[in-house]
Structure 1
């Protein structure tokens, strides 16, 4: 078997205030290890932090100024040296002495006078254990990285699936374009803006906000059940046609309930998706549909979606209307405070209205002019 190159051998730090003990240890270990020597506790603390760090420390217990127990405790408190194994060397042989040494952070305790065979065997065993600990740590880090990578892949796949389901519904309505992405970002922005409000704080933690935003693209999934003749009609709907259109929130809820049934369990994401699909056409004053809910009986996720959806509908071109200006959309939402919309959500919207406009411009439909170019005079 070839002898390891000197620079690849483990590095030991030998600490003892007695020259004879240091000489003995040096003679025992010099052939197999690189050695660093300290004749006191303070010097040992300095050498322990020098690169390359020691792989193992052999530490005398009884030393002047700073004893070995204090040195070991300090080593274990420093992030740089906390994981370096320490073996105590001591002439104190009582059980309580060993217990104190192990309690201070040592991995082993060797009695003096030193036996070369015992010292060499204990050192070798601890170095092997340290090597296994390092290998296990690296293995765990690799596994964690792989789990994080796989989780990111699953999240991307989930996001893509959610968006695809929303697009499936929106493709029925050819003029909505980037509507899904815009409303998703509006919901996230508005939820973050009002998250500290006493009425909303308990429901709008970072995780809840993220799930609500992820669910937003499914708000109109029930449109898949609305006939094209009604969905694409360029004129005002008749009373009968509007009654059919009003079914899409219920259809959306039923689709998501069926997904929950197939999955076999509820989840926050699906709950928010169901709330948004079923409740985003409700109004604060109870005049919305399909249930005619009012006030806080409407789920918060649906109230957020309602404001986001209306803002985007106002600024977007539709078969039945041209796009409104941002200023007009803001005015209409302001005027709907306490009737169409939760008043505190409107207040939050007004604080970030310019950021809504920025989102609208970032994810605008290719055929639409920038909001800044839509003159109020051109709004019908």
Structure 2
């Protein structure tokens, strides 16, 4: 078997003679790395080629084995590496402390070759099983997330098919919202949630009667009151959930028609009373709606919409967000062309 195919054992002991003994036992079957100090061991364990298992002495100067183990388990990069203490300390209290710190086993000195090899084989096999299971769980979780995101995207498009808009609208404006959220430095996890929540902003239009929703002329006062109900219908459809995604989608559905000056609906929220998600989606939604052709209107030019956004900064839109959105225009126009109707 090539050396690169062998699993790697890191031996940590301040006594070179002890390292030589363990290395002699291990080398026929494993690749061996060695360290005579805790600090060096931590650097090796956290490097690009992480060991598959660590044999760790307890009684070492400067940093003892307990401290090394504690730091290994506190570091996300090294915390899953199995640690076996190899030590002359054999009191029950010593073993208890080692296990509490996260060690998987305890071998007493002087070491026995059959015991060392048997324990290492056992814990490497368990570690391999753990990694394989974690990979399967990760893959399955990603599949579930992908399916959930696709269902949500389709749900958002369902509302558009009932309206005079196309499914491309929800795709474009979701990207626009993402660009703006990234531009202002929002946390990446939140940006991703917003990207998947934005398509559901108008899901409540499913509940609006066709004679109102599809009317080509100007809505009268009663019809406009009915139309405004779509934000509340959307919030009801999405409900109250522990899911961060659905919770954010509900927030977007309920607040994306609020206006900075307080003249929006349904609650007349003003300024930063409007959640950031609603303020972002308001700009993304209006930009796409105005630059798109509909049966009842022609598409505005990009320049006309940019002028409108600037005019409405501090009225309809958050004045701090408008220039940030305009700074995203190269990305916005690329998506606009890529997902054209």
Do both share a fold (TM > 0.5)?
A: yes
8 A contact 1:49–1:81 mirrored in 2: no
Q: Distance in 2 between matches of 1:209 and 1:331?
A: 27
Alignment of 1:285 with 2:261, yes or no, is: yes
Counterpart in 2 of 1:35? none
8 A contact 1:283–1:340 mirrored in 2: yes
Give 1:51 shift.
Answer: 9.7
Counterpart in 2 of 1:272? 248
8 A contact 2:204–2:230 mirrored in 1: yes
8 A contact 1:253–1:277 mirrored in 2: yes
Counterpart in 2 of 1:207? 189
User: Normalising to structure 1: TM-score of the pair?
Assistant: 0.66
Counterpart in 1 of 2:119? 129
Aligned pairs (5 A) from 1:218-297: 218-257=200-239, 260=240, 265-297=241-273
Specify every segment of 5 or more residues in structure 2 that has no aligned partner in the other structure, as ranges.
1-6, 10-15, 59-86, 98-102
- SS of the aligned residue for 2:259 comes to coil
- Report how many aligned residue pairs link the two structures: 289
Greater alpha carbon shift after TM alignment, 40-49 vs 353-362: 40-49
Alignment of 1:152 with 2:142, yes or no, is: yes
User: Normalising to structure 2: TM-score of the pair?
Assistant: 0.73
Aligned pairs (5 A) from 1:76-87: 76-77=41-42, 78-79=44-45, 83=53, 85=55
Change (3 A) 1:49 1:305: farther
Bigger Rg over Cα: 1
8 A contact 2:194–2:248 mirrored in 1: yes
Aligned pairs (5 A) from 1:40-189: 53-54=30-31, 71=36, 76-77=41-42, 78-79=44-45, 83=53, 85=55, 98-99=88-89, 108-110=107-109, 122-189=112-179
- SS of the aligned residue for 1:306 comes to helix
Q: Distance in 2 between matches of 1:285 and 1:294?
A: 5
Counterpart in 2 of 1:64? none
Across the aligned residues of Structure 1 and Structure 2, the Cα RMSD in angstroms comes to: 3.9
8 A contact 1:222–1:248 mirrored in 2: yes
Change (3 A) 1:318 1:81: closer
- SS of the aligned residue for 2:320 comes to helix
- SS of the aligned residue for 1:364 comes to coil
Structure 1 stretches of 4+ with a deviation exceeding 6 A read 39-52
Give 1:270 shift.
Answer: 2.2
8 A contact 1:215–1:269 mirrored in 2: yes
Instruction: Find the partner of 1:328 among 301, 304, 314.
Output: 304
Change (3 A) 1:48 1:216: farther
8 A contact 2:194–2:249 mirrored in 1: yes
Change (3 A) 1:295 1:332: same
Give 1:98 shift.
Answer: 2.4
Q: Distance in 2 between matches of 1:84 and 1:284?
A: 59
Counterpart in 1 of 2:68? none
Give 1:238 shift.
Answer: 2.0
Specify every segment of 5 or more residues in structure 1 that has no aligned partner in the other structure, as ranges.
1-9, 13-38, 58-69, 89-96, 112-118, 196-203, 366-380
Instruction: Find the partner of 2:276 among 273, 295, 300.
Output: 300
Greater alpha carbon shift after TM alignment, 143-152 vs 284-293: 284-293
